[in-house]
Amino acid sequence: GQQLNQSPQSMFIQEGEDVSMNCTSSSIFNTWLWYKQDPGEGPVLLIALYKAGELTSNGRLTAQFGITRKDSFLNISASIPSDVGIYFCAGQVLNFGNEKLTFGTGTRLTIIP
């Protein structure tokens, strides 16, 4: 099955730095979602985007739904230790019978002491 292209694959940053990651697709999605996954756990929803061009914030996180509906980005400002984990984008078409999430390949965030 299709997987979305996510970059960068991994990031090593210092505490307090800002983080930016993005996700691209060859096909259009009607919804973009960003999840975070900690080791041994399931993905937890961070932000959901429903309209092309939409910019949404959740605390230190900001995400945008690309105008072409084929991409999205996630920014994290002033990173803290608990931001460590793997971040996944996911796209959804949301037509009847096509509600599945298509996930990106993930961005692994590591904070260097």
Partner 1 sequence: NAGVMQNPRHLVRRRGQEARLRCSPMKGHSHVYWYRQLPEEGLKFMVYLQKENIIDESGMPKERFSAEFPKEGPSILRIQQVVRGDSAAYFCASSPSSKNIQYFGAGTRLSVL
* Binding stretches for partner 1 (CB under 8 A): 1, 3-4, 6, 33, 35, 40-45, 48, 88, 94, 96-106
- Shortest distance, CB of residue 10 to partner 1, whole angstroms? 10
Give which of 30, 1, 25 is closest to 94, Cα–Cα: 30
Judged by beta carbon, residue 20 or residue 92, the one nearer partner 1 is 92
- Shortest distance, CB of residue 105 to partner 1, whole angstroms? 5
Q: Read off the tokens for 33.
A: 């979602």
Give dist(CA 35, CA 86) in Å, integer.
8
Judged by beta carbon, residue 18 or residue 99, the one nearer partner 1 is 99
Judged by beta carbon, residue 80 or residue 110, the one nearer partner 1 is 110
- Shortest distance, CB of residue 61 to partner 1, whole angstroms? 16
Return the sign of the alpha-carbon dihedral for residues 2, 71, 36, 105: positive
Give which of 37, 113, 42 is closest to 79, Cα–Cα: 113
Partners of 34 in the β-ladder: 47, 89
- Shortest distance, CB of residue 98 to partner 1, whole angstroms? 7
